Amino acid sequence: MDSRDGWQWGEWKRIAAFGEGHYQVTGLGKSKAGSMFNYHSTGKGLNWRTNLYYVETRDRGNTWETVDGQLLELPLTRVHNKALVREYESVGLNVYLKDLRFDSQDRPMMLYITSKGYQSGPKNSPRTWTVSRWTGNEWLHAMVTVSDSNYDFGELWRNGDNDWRVIGPTEPGPQPYNPGGEIVIWKSTDRGASWTRVRQMTHGSPNNHSYVRRVVNAHPDFVAIWADGHGRRPSESRLFIANSEGGVFRLPRVMDADQMLLERIGD
């Protein structure tokens, strides 16, 4: 669906319609918009989702192409189609989408988690954080790290060609095998080919942290935001922000003035 003013919208255009539906994540490059998606296998229920697909448009969604410029006839109706980036169904892996960004040459880079199944707990480990990126000639895939829940959530930061980062709850938290954990920064200096743990941003937390979101057009003092919560019972949820160096600050639960101080967490 397309709009030029946010008020008047065009008609829905179906990109993919196979299996029992899809999850998808949209990303914006300099000259294109892209969509990464998976699919629900027929007859297995909506807890199952697998495979990784990618399509892009350069004309506000009027036409859609593969990453190498092949025009697609929509909607896609076959599991094995031109948009398929990586086939995971035959090896029994689920795919949980996290983020889609573009490098300095407007090539897609996608972050997602794979696991052996939808149920929580150790039997479906490892939950593997993976980056798939287009080089201009081929897709390359690299593991970032592993964590303990399919719904651990982080995103990609690109600070330069030799400084790509993932921030997310990859360290187990106080409620293991539930969504979230302790927040960690991972860094790649070779365009996603390998990843190094840079800093654990939270420690000894009473609740799990998760759903780390990237700030658009960020100031260095405020590049990420997320919340915490108990993984197994109702609880209060607090907001946290981070700066570009990995420093973490907690927002007050009650705002009773125009300006209030943040609480520094950790070192």
d(CA 15, CA 168): 29
Per-residue pLDDT tens digits for 56-81: 999 999 999 999 999 999 999 999 99
In a domain, 79, yes or no: no
**Could you give the number of structural domains in the chain?**
1
In a domain, 206, yes or no: yes
5 pLDDT exceeds 90? yes
In a domain, 46, yes or no: no
- What letter represents residue 243's amino acid? N
In a domain, 95, yes or no: no
Parent domain of 205: 119-127+147-265
Give yes or no for a contact between 59 and 47, defined as CB atoms under 8 angstroms apart: no
Per-residue pLDDT tens digits for 245-267: 999 999 999 999 999 999 999 76
Per-residue pLDDT tens digits for 37-52: 999 999 999 999 999 9
In a domain, 7, yes or no: no
155 pLDDT exceeds 90? yes
Average pLDDT over the chain, rounded to an integer? 96
d(CA 24, CA 53): 9
In a domain, 83, yes or no: no
d(CA 198, CA 212): 17
pLDDT of residue 2: 87
3-state SS of 23-47 is CEEEEECCCCEEEEEEECCCCCCCC
In a domain, 198, yes or no: yes
Q: What are phi and psi of 93, to 5 degrees?
A: -110, 135
In a domain, 43, yes or no: no
Residue 44 burial by CB count (10 A; 0-12/13-18/19+): exposed, middle or buried? Answer: middle
